[in-house]
Structure 1
Amino acid sequence: MTKKHTLYFSATLIFLALVCLSISAWIRKPDPKKPNIVLFFIDDLGYGDLSCTGAMGYTTPNLDRMAAEGSRFTNFLAAQAVCSASRASLLTGCYPNRIGISGALGPNSPIGLNPAEETLAELLKEQGYATGIFGKWHLGNKQAFLPLQQGFDEYYGVPYSHDMWPHHPDQARAQYPPLFLIEGNQPAKEVKTLDDASELTPTFTERALSFIRNHKKEPFFLYIPHPLPHVPLAASARFRGKSQRGLFGDVLMELDWSVGQVMQELKQQGIDKNTLVIFISDNGPWLNYGDHAGSAGGFREGKGTSFEGGHRVPCLVRWPGVVPAGRVSNKLLTTMDILPTVAKLCGARLPKQTIDGVDWLALLKGDDSMTPRDHFFYYYRKNSLEAVRQGDWKLVFAHPGRTYEGFLPGQGGKPGPNTENHAFPMALYNLQRDPGERYDVREQNPDIIRKLEKLAEEARTDLGDDIQNRTGRNVRAAGIVDTTK
């Protein structure tokens, strides 16, 4: 071999070696780390209960900072204005009446979230996510329905609302069984007193921090459904008496502290910039509890109603470098839309059965030209269609329902009166000009009424309507167990 051939051969070997190294490096290059998801779901928190949405007598600096560092969505609706239904919607992406869940399930209820429904936790678990829930479940307290059977690896919390409790100030609740915290699938500790209840927020916070530390090297889904400020209110000694708003303000200051602790832990573990944090509420405030209730922020009525005060809740979203900071968006969104959005973000599939949520990932990342959701159906009671909304227009159908208006609210943890069977007439509201739903403009807008009635008819065909004694074509059954065994 000549010197010229030797040099050519050596150069060829070097070139091939470089190509192989490049291919090897490309093959070994890891995929970008999947984002962590932290989801706060606060119980009975009204639209006006954060200082960034107008609260007075206390401040929520950590949540205000979250809003400043992320985006605030001002037109975000709970799927139903009541505990179990709202939670079912969040985890399945469905109208709760589609999957047979309504109201607030009691401790002796034979039904719960059907294990055949696919939850967000199950979808993320398929993608290698660690999944944990610390707080209130309220989708069935029988073992077949508990979180470990619904896609979660870890659970510590209360199985239902902590007012379903023999020690509630309302003595009519004395028939309830003892309330236990649940660890995994087993009762762990009885909540006997309000002092016990005062440790719920700090205990669930510490469990959440431990979960972050234990799973910081893998993607995780952390669900923190705090039971407070649902009554009965209780704040730990550290926060008791700290606000000018009484016990309610103390509780909100402690919840704000909890959010701050989680955000701080994410930073300390070096995963803050790879974590999407969402903060929302399950429904509006329980207004007849007076000084122990929050504020609907000027919207009409509250929890348990199909007016905006029942459905419109705070929504803060933070993800540094991805979700625009300091943005306020008024696009219509709902709890149902969390599942398809997070699923797409994390590379997960959607549930095999029909869901009602829409993907708003592009909007989340800053595309304000996007309008993810066009309309929304306000269902309540078992399966009654009480209103329909499209854009800024909302048509309320004649229905019996809860009203707090005209009743003196309660004090000191005891509820004031209200009525569950007030006769609401049909009315049309323009929420752009009349967010308080005070001025019926039906006579001026017959075309709008026809358009909304057509949408409502589609909903009745699909989901049913108890007011019209109609069963929907596409509803599914809740899970059920034999409680006699």
Structure 2
Amino acid sequence: MLVVNFSCKNSAKSSHADIEVKTSKPNIVVIYLDDLGYGDLSSYGATELRTPHIDALATGGVKFTNGYATSATCTPSRYAMLTGMYPWKNKDAKILPGDAPLLIDTQQHTLPKLLSKAGYQTAIVGKWHLGLGSGNVNWNETIKPSPNEVGFDESYILAATQDRVPTVYIENGDVVNLDKNDPIEVDYKTNFEGEPTAISNPEMQTMKWHHGHNNSIVNGIPRIGYMKGGEAAKWSDVDMADHFLVKAQNYVKTHKAKPFFLYYAMQQPHVPRTPHPRFVGKSGMGPRGDVILEADWCIGEFMKTLEEEGILENTLIVFSSDNGPVLNDGYYDDAVEKLGNHDPKGGLRGGKYSLFEAGTRVPFITYWKNHINPSVSDAIVCQIDLLASFGHLVGIEDNTTDSKNYLNTLLGETKKGRDHLIIEAKSNTALRSGDWLMIPPYKGSAMNKKVGTETGVLLQYQLFNLNEDLGQENNLAESNPKKLKDMIQIFERLKQ
């Protein structure tokens, strides 16, 4: 059990410098959603969706209004959170296919490695999408390297995303329920002879593809990539949320005697959106709304487990999302048609794949019952800083990465956050500094027409005062050349 002594030099004030962790350390849980937007939660202003369990974290902890992923897409954000490194420094940190080699070098410093040094048990349950193996993965043997080789003692994952093959769970490097007489083959370029696809056999689809998702069909859902074999190992899409929830709950129950770090990487509301029948139609917004309600319920059940096991007060929880929202991301599922008055962006501009704020500004909540005082913070915080901040919490300082220690901010003891943050979308970068956002000129399309999202890409500089212009409607680059010059200088210095 956790023993934390708060010794205050001033009885009216306390700071983390005054906290002494005596005999053990708090459990740490990162709950990470996939494509959840800044405005998708009722605690962040949504009026058409009710998310009471996530809202309970927000009202009982610190709700950050300026919380960021590093990137507007999933692989780079996950890489940054786990390594403490800006993803734009790694040319391979882009959206990966399901058969990509492991993106994180096994010698690289990682968050689970850091916590392991402090005596933590470490595990990931859920979406990985950071590559596996060293190329040409043999899915029918133990896959190495995997999350287990970059710091996780235990891993139970889907390799990439729910819309990519292979559509199987992998536990500690081994495909779950694999029949060796029905080996798995995966290819992202060429289909296997005789295997049906959404192009050759559209009648097999129960979910219709809009763009990009027209390869192998599994459970009636066309995917990205081609897969053959592994029938007994294929997951049930509608049961995925329940499946990962049970794995996360069981991990907590069987590891509560010692401090643990659990990375609970949920798949909602990424496509394909496949709510369990219990949640179908509950939101009135189609599958996207339904899976957000499903995710909220799962988090409520997980929190209930922490409480029933007697460790809720000993567990620091960080809740966030890997990037901003997207509606049509490859399937016809009524996400656009049934949106109604709901604004997944929460008044921001852009979305997934975008340099505008809705691409990287996401819900960000810290919760630690009876240790964090409930508050709302406007401090700029970023997932990249979890590594150094958690390191400080457990007594291991890190200055080898881009991660900075903002533990006081995460615990709500100060509202001073980052001065500067570089954000990224599709390998382009921009600067958030104070109340300002500067986007340099880039070649490319101003609109991602497939998904209907503005990219933030223009041939001229863009400068926005986010305090006065949250929706980024007024480009001040020409009218405020001095501020633009200052931002460019900061940006160039940080990029070096």
Give the TM-score normalised by the residue count of structure 1. 0.79
**Structure 2 counterpart of 1:54:** 45
Question: How many angstroms apart in 2 are the aligned matches of 1:435 and 1:201?
Answer: 34
> Any idea what SS the aligned residue of 2:300 has?
helix
Are the counterparts in 2 of residues 305 and 403 from structure 1 also a CA contact under 8 Å? no
Quote the offset at 1:366 in angstroms: 3.0
Residues 299-314 of structure 1 mapped to structure 2, 5 A cutoff: 299-314=348-363
1:257 counterpart = 2:312: no
Within 5 A, what are the aligned runs for 1:101-112? 101-110=92-101, 112=103
Say which of 374, 391, 395 aligns to 1:343: 391
Alignment of 1:437-452 (within 5 A): 437-452=472-487
Contact 1:96 1:102 in 2 (8 A): yes
Letter paired with 2:124: I
Q: Which is helix-richer, 1 or 2? A: 1
Q: 1:145 to 1:299 in 2, by over 3 A?
A: farther
Shift of 1:380: 3.3
The aligned residue for residue 161 of structure 1 is: 161
Q: How does 1:7-26 map onto structure 2 within 5 Å?
A: none
> What is the Cα deviation at residue 89 of structure 1?
0.4
Confirm or deny: 8 A CA contact 1:58 1:244 kept in the other structure.
no
Whole-Å separation in 2 of the counterparts to 1:121 and 1:269: 23
* 2:311 corresponds to which of 252, 255, 271: 271
Residue deviations 1:54-102, cap 9 Å, x none?
2243311101111111110010111111111000000111101224442
Which of 203, 218, 225 aligns to 1:192? It is 218
Partner SS, residue 405 of structure 2? coil
Pairs within 5 Å for 1:78-477 = 78-110=69-101, 112-142=103-133, 143-165=143-165, 178-188=166-176, 192-193=218-219, 196-289=236-329, 291-292=334-335, 295-325=344-374, 327-350=375-398, 354-368=400-414, 370-382=415-427, 384-385=428-429, 387-401=430-444, 403-404=446-447, 416=451, 423-460=458-495, 462=496
Amino acid at match of 2:412: G
Compare CA radii of gyration and give the structure with the larger one: 1
Closer/same/farther in 2, CA of residues 99 and 115 from structure 1, 3 Å limit: farther
Between 420-429 and 123-132, report the one with greater CA deviation: 420-429
1:120 partner amino acid: L
Residues 228 and 274 of structure 1, relative CA distance in 2, 3 Å threshold: same
| 1:107 match: secondary structure | coil
- The 1:96/1:422 distance shift into structure 2, 3 A limit, reads closer
Q: Work out which of the residue numbers 28, 33, 46 in structure 1 matches 2:24.
A: 33
Residue by residue, what CA displacement relative to the aligned partner does 1:146-183 show, whole Å, maximum 9, x if unpaired?
21111111111201012224xxxxxxxxxxxx422111
- Secondary structure of the residue aligned to 1:429 is strand
8 Å CA contact 2:351–2:454 kept in 1: the answer is no
What TM-score, normalized to structure 2?
A: 0.77
Partner of 1:482: none
**Residue 349 of structure 1: CA displacement?**
3.9
Aligned equivalents of 1:134, 1:89: Cα separation in 2? 18
Of the candidates 35, 59, 65, which is equivalent to residue 56 of structure 2? 65
Counterpart of 1:400 in 2: which secondary structure? coil
Q: Report the Cα offset of residue 310 of structure 1.
A: 0.2
Could you report, residue by residue, the CA deviation over 1:427-474 in whole angstroms, capped at 9, with x for unpaired residues?
Answer: 1110100111110112332221111111122134x2xxxxxxxxxxxx
Q: SS at 1:228's partner residue?
A: coil
- Counterpart secondary structure, 1:73: strand
Secondary structure (helix, strand or coil) at the match of 1:330 reads strand
Percent identity, aligned pairs only, is 35
SS at match of 2:89: helix
Q: Deviations over 1:94-115 (max 9, x none)?
A: 1012244422111232451111
What is the alpha-carbon distance in structure 2 between the residues aligned to residue 349 and residue 83 of structure 1?
A: 27
Quote the Cα distance in structure 2 between the aligned partners of 1:399 and 1:390.
20
- Deviation of 1:31 (Å): 3.0
CA distance in 1 between counterparts of 2:307 and 2:409 reads: 25
Matched letter for residue 68 of structure 1: T
SS of residue paired to 1:372 = coil
- Contact 1:400-1:421 at 8 Å conserved across structures: no
Consecutive unaligned residues of structure 1, counting only runs of 5 or more, are 1-29, 166-177, 408-414, 463-485
Q: Structure 2: how far apart are the matches of 1:304 and 1:58?
A: 24
CA–CA separation in structure 2 for the residues paired with 1:31 and 1:269 = 22
> Which segment is superposed worse, 78-87 or 417-426?
417-426
Partner SS, residue 218 of structure 2: coil
Decide whether aligned partners of structure 1 residues 75 and 68 sit closer, same or farther in structure 2, where only a CA change above 3 A counts. Answer: same
Q: Secondary structure at the match of 1:339?
A: helix
CA distance in 2, matches of 1:108, 1:402: 29
**Secondary structure of the residue that 2:443 maps to in structure 1?**
strand
Contact 1:141 1:160 (C-alpha < 8 Å) held by counterparts: no
Q: 1:66 to 1:419 in 2, by over 3 A?
A: closer
Q: State the one-letter code of the partner of 2:433.
A: Q
